[in-house]
Amino acid sequence: MNFIDPFAEQYADKYSDKLDDLLKEIVDFTVATHPKSHMLSGAVQGKFLEMVATMVKPSRVLEIGTFTGFSALCLAKGLAPDGILHTIEMRVEDAQTAIRFFDKSGMKDKIKLHIGNATEIIPSLDESWDLVFIDADKVSYIDYYELTLPRVKSGGWILADNVLFHGQVLNEVIVGKNPKAIHAFNEHVSKDERTEKAMLTIRDGLTLIRKK
């Protein structure tokens, strides 16, 4: 995932807040036990997610792609006092890991984890979203955007991760189903007049989208 200058990333890491003990435990456990630990949002991105949520003070957050619970706990830190974060994970084993960390966090009553396919679960959630974080299978990003946008409040936010897809979307000829899907998503969002957007070159790319 290192297409951004690793020295710049190390510098950003050095001058950003450090992870709290539980987030560090999640990272250490995931790196030690999970073959796909690279899927974790890093420390800087985690702090950024927390700060966005703190600015928005959302009552309802939807996360698509829980993995081991790292980003859900970052986002949950910014919830309004009555806020709830829904998060969706397809892989039972990862969901069980996340539940274990949510239980330890003191925020378990504010987090509802749904196990299953996000395209089926999203339409079943009767909520209006203040903030949505899209971070699951790349080929479904356009579906996730279209499924959630009608239920995002006016002035509400969507964050989409991995929008630079390891730099592969920058190639003149884009090869592979995931980079192609992400490029199609970026084109789709950029042309959508229902929203405003800014693509940030943080980590693997993060687009911040605001519903008008």
Ligand X SMILES: C[S@@+](CC[C@H](N)C(=O)[O-])C[C@H]1O[C@@H](n2cnc3c(N)ncnc32)[C@H](O)[C@@H]1O
**Rounded Cα–Cα distance for residues 44 and 12 (Å):** 7
Work out whether 88 is an interface residue with ligand X (CB under 6 A).
Answer: yes
Work out whether 134 is an interface residue with ligand X (CB under 6 A).
Answer: no
For residues 101 and 195, which CB has a smaller minimum distance to ligand X in the complex? 101
- For ligand X, which stretch binds (CB under 6 A), given 11-19, 39-47, 54-62, 202-210? 39-47
Q: Report whether 181 contacts 162 (CB < 8 A).
A: no
**Rounded Cα–Cα distance for residues 144 and 133 (Å):** 10
**Rounded Cα–Cα distance for residues 100 and 108 (Å):** 10
- For ligand X, which stretch binds (CB under 6 A), given 136-144, 169-177, 184-192, 193-201? 136-144
As given in the structure block, the two tokens for residue 195 are: 């929203």
- For ligand X, which stretch binds (CB under 6 A), given 7-15, 65-73, 99-107, 191-199? 65-73
Work out whether 131 is an interface residue with ligand X (CB under 6 A).
Answer: no
β-pairing, 129-134 with 111-115? unpaired
The contact set with ligand X (CB under 6 A) reads 39-41, 65, 67, 70-71, 88-91, 94, 117-118, 135-137, 140
